[in-house]
Structure 1
Amino acid sequence: MTKLSININKIALLRNSRGRNYPDVQAFAARCLDLGADGITLHPRQDQRHARYSDVETLGALCKARGVELNVEGYPSPDFIEVVKRFRPAQCTLVPDAADQLTSDHGWDVHQDAALLKPVLAELKALDIRSSLFVDYDNPDLVLAKELGADRVELYTEPYAENFGTPQGEQIFQGFLAACKLAQQAGLGVNAGHDLNLDNLAKFLTIPDILEVSIGHAVIVESIESGIVSVLTKYAEICRSC
């Protein structure tokens, strides 16, 4: 069974736009867990324009109380790593975001960025925090993530989502399938995320042994259209059927 982790950055963005705690990020996260999510993802960017470092503490306490995992994503700046070390989420996913980046749009160059990543991964391991690297499915150095000390990789799935249902889509899907097998053979767990939604998720999860998917933007858009109860129920059913 693939675990469903809900990324609540968009709820944090709505909160910040009005200058007060509405919508309440913690309450929304709890609602997602009530409706079948297996965990929560939070991605505080360097400018904290939506998720804030203070949310890591709040949501960490919620997830601990519920017996589920908090996955904290971000660029390994000194401030970010200090927050992760202080609050110790179950999983930390390192993402190569620039300070002014709108959204994640590529994975690490695992070979070129090795000197940056290796000591950070060692710090996470020493704290018993599971680590994951955000990577492109066609990165020829993907398996190097294991040598650097990562426990998992998270496959950046926008190329799959963008081409879903097109003539090129099946070829790209096969590329993801191959990348997953390669990572697993190297001893890496495999997560996935970015632009997965109710239309394309089931097909993607025919890839064996995807451990976790992180979904945020689509959940909010689909919930506006269909209601959160219906949407979360459908996501949970897809993940539990794989």
Structure 2
Amino acid sequence: MTKLSVNINKIATLRNSRGGDVPNVVQFAKDVQRYGAEGVTVHPRPDERHIRYQDVYDLKPEIYTEFNIEGNPMPKFIDMVLEVKPTQVTLVPDGEDAITSNAGWDTVKNKTFLTEVISEFKSNGIRTSIFVDPYLNMVEGAKATGTDRIELYTETYAQQYKLGNKKAIEPYMECAGLANSLQLGINAGHDLSLENIKFFKENITGLLEVSIGHALITESLYFGIENVVQMYLHRLQ
């Protein structure tokens, strides 16, 4: 079964919009695990506009499933990850001014840098994943860095699926096939939703984990968070 990791950035955004500590991100993380989520994801950014660096430290003792920290491996981020030692770190090349992640790594151009960062994380017992676009050469480049996994950037799939273009899954299937042959673990994320997750799961062999935040939280406004977590788990079986 593919694991569901819930990205709780949007809960922090809601908290920050009002000030104070409501909703409480630590309590929310505890609740989604209790409802069945198999992991919690956070993506702190330099301006701390949603998840704050202190949140990451506060969350660590309360995550008894898998803790996945995403982000651009700048010095402050690297130091935090090495201190917290999550289950997994996912490297994402987002710029400081990016509203959300909008591209994967060029794993060929950035091979030396990624190799050095990944080596440091792995030497500290932290599983590594690289955020990549669905291109075969980027998967091959990821393998060359020594990473444990890749995370397929699924925005294009989600957009095209909504338009009825199910052939948009094909590049992801090809990349998954290559990753499996290279013994790279496969994660996926970005714009996956209750609408498109089942078809994606059925066509991606070896899919280990999906990280879902924005869609899951907005769907929960209608159905409730406990129901939505269960709905995702059912589709991922």
1:5 partner amino acid: S
Pairwise CA RMSD: 1.1
2:58 partner amino acid: T
1:89 partner amino acid: P
For the residue of structure 2 that corresponds to 1:107, the secondary structure is: coil
1:57 partner amino acid: Y
2:232 and 2:166 mapped to 1: Cα distance? 22
Aligned to 1:41: 41
Pick one of 117, 128, 132 that aligns with 2:129. 132
Gap regions ≥5 residues in structure 2: none
Aligned to 1:199: 195
Deviation at 1:115, TM superposition (A): 2.3
Contact 2:67 2:87 in 1 (8 A): yes
1:126 and 1:105 mapped to 2: Cα distance? 29
Gap regions ≥5 residues in structure 1: none
For the residue of structure 1 that corresponds to 2:229, the secondary structure is: helix
1:123 partner amino acid: E
For the residue of structure 2 that corresponds to 1:181, the secondary structure is: helix
- Runs of 4 or more, structure 1, over 4 Å off, are none
Same amino acid, percent of matched pairs: 46
Pick one of 202, 215, 230 that aligns with 2:212. 215
1:79 and 1:16 mapped to 2: Cα distance? 21
2:170 partner amino acid: Q
What do residues 81-123 of structure 1 show as CA deviations (whole Å, max 9, x unaligned)? Answer: 0000011001000000101110001100011111221110010
Aligned to 2:74: 77
1:229 and 1:122 mapped to 2: Cα distance? 38
Contact 1:41 1:73 in 2 (8 A): yes
Aligned to 1:182: 178
State the TM-score, normalized to the length of structure 2.
0.97
2:71 partner amino acid: G
For the residue of structure 2 that corresponds to 1:143, the secondary structure is: helix
Pick one of 168, 171, 191 that aligns with 1:172. 168
| Matched positions, count | 236
Contact 1:46 1:75 in 2 (8 A): no
Aligned to 1:5: 5
Contact 2:149 2:187 in 1 (8 A): yes
| Range moving further from structure 2, 225-234 or 30-39 | 225-234
Q: How does 1:34-113 map to 2 (within 5 A)?
A: 34-63=34-63, 66=64, 68-113=65-110
1:60 and 1:137 mapped to 2: Cα distance? 31
2:66 partner amino acid: E
For the residue of structure 1 that corresponds to 2:33, the secondary structure is: helix
For the residue of structure 1 that corresponds to 2:44, the secondary structure is: coil
1:184 and 1:60 mapped to 2: Cα distance? 31
Deviation at 1:138, TM superposition (A): 2.1
2:214 and 2:208 mapped to 1: Cα distance? 20
Contact 1:107 1:136 in 2 (8 A): yes
Contact 2:136 2:178 in 1 (8 A): no
Contact 1:109 1:139 in 2 (8 A): no
What do residues 106-148 of structure 1 show as CA deviations (whole Å, max 9, x unaligned)? Answer: 1000111112211100101110100000000125232221221
2:142 and 2:86 mapped to 1: Cα distance? 20
2:47 and 2:179 mapped to 1: Cα distance? 32
2:59 partner amino acid: L
What do residues 13-46 of structure 1 show as CA deviations (whole Å, max 9, x unaligned)? Answer: 1111122111000111111111110010000012
For the residue of structure 2 that corresponds to 1:141, the secondary structure is: helix
For the residue of structure 2 that corresponds to 1:50, the secondary structure is: coil
1:182 and 1:140 mapped to 2: Cα distance? 10
